[in-house]
């Protein structure tokens, strides 16, 4: 995996931020788990995407922890927008990436957490609150549950495993025929999307993940991983 260009922090400082990100994931998971396969209302946002009380409460919990620990840091979250947008350090949060899967009772969702400095990501986390898998990357290395992981060696499209969040979205927002041609060349194609797809690429379970719609809270955590 090619390292990204990111600000250099002393190892101890980066480690402290990574430990705090893990604490955020733990706090968020404690909020999300009781709602999984439970009874709750689903609301539809202006962009037609669903949101639940689990999304809202999980982000609120992480925001409170960040502002208590780092009051001079900013926060960008899917559900509550930007706080202190001019702060050099920004935590970028997606409490439930894959809300449709969460609503359906599927495990194909996760929590995304990133820390950026001047818009450039320092670290990223993909956490599966139900299973407990914790993937963190610093732009040079990635670890799954404290074990080093890396992408799969694959040099031919014909040997690749392709993942995508939504076949419909590709044809609505991007070049559908080009994607169709790619999907016919690969060894296997599955609609295992949202952060779960990127999790599989980072840990060697797949080779290509395509996603035509990404906001900053969808993307920032994925870059260091």
User: In the predicted model, what is the mean pLDDT of residues 206-216?
Assistant: 89
Residue 90 φ/ψ, nearest 5 degrees: -130, 130
Residue 195 has what pLDDT?
95
Provide the pairing of β-strand 120-127 with 110-117: antiparallel
Sequence ranges of the domains in the chain:
11-150, 157-210
Neighbour-count burial of 93, counting CB atoms closer than 10 A to its CB (0-12 exposed, 13-18 middle, 19+ buried)? buried
Residue 170 has what pLDDT?
72
- The residue among 190, 88, 104, 206 whose CA lies nearest residue 149 is 206
4-57: pLDDT as tens digits: 445 678 999 999 999 999 999 999 999 999 999 999 999 999 888 999 999 999
149-177: pLDDT as tens digits: 999 999 999 999 999 887 767 777 667 78
> Angle formed by the axes of helices 53-69 and 11-32, to 10°?
150
How many CB atoms lie under 10 A from the CB of residue 35?
19
Centroid of chain to Cα 192: 14
**Is there a contact between 117 and 88 (Cβ–Cβ < 8 Å)?**
yes
Residue 7 has what pLDDT?
62
- The residue among 158, 154, 203 whose CA lies nearest residue 183 is 158
Residue 154 φ/ψ, nearest 5 degrees: -150, 115
Quickly list DSSP for 69-132: H-TT-EEEETTTEEESTT-SEEEEEEEEETHHHHHHT-S--EEEEEEEETTEEEEEEEE-TTT-
- Residues 179 and 172: their CA atoms lie apart, in Å, by 12
Is the CATH code 3.30.540.10 the one for domain 11-150? Answer: yes
């Amino acid at each position: 995996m090619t390292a990204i260009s990111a600000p250099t922090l002393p190892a101890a400082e980066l480690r402290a931020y990574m430990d705090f990100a893990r604490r955020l994931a733990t706090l968020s998971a404690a909020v999300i788990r009781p709602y999984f396969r439970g009874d709750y209302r689903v609301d539809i946002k202006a962009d037609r995407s669903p949101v639940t009380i689990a999304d809202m409460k999980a982000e609120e919990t992480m925001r409170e922890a960040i502002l208590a620990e780092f009051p001079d840091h900013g926060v960008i979250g899917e559900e509550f927008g930007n706080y202190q947008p001019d702060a050099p350090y920004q935590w970028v949060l997606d409490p439930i990436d894959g809300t449709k899967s969460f609503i359906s009772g599927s495990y194909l969702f996760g929590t995304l957490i990133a820390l950026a400095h001047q818009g450039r990501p320092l670290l990223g986390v993909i956490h599966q609150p139900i299973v407990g898998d914790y993937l963190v990357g610093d732009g040079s290395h990635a670890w799954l549950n404290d074990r080093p992981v890396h992408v799969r060696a694959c040099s031919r499209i014909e040997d690749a495993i392709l993942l995508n969040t939504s076949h419909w979205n590709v044809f609505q927002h991007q070049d559908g025929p080009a994607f169709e041609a790619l999907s016919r060349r690969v060894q296997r194609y599955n609609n295992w999307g949202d952060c779960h797809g990127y999790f599989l690429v980072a840990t060697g379970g797949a080779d290509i993940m395509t996603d035509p719609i990404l906001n900053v809270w969808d993307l920032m955590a994925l870059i260091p991983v």
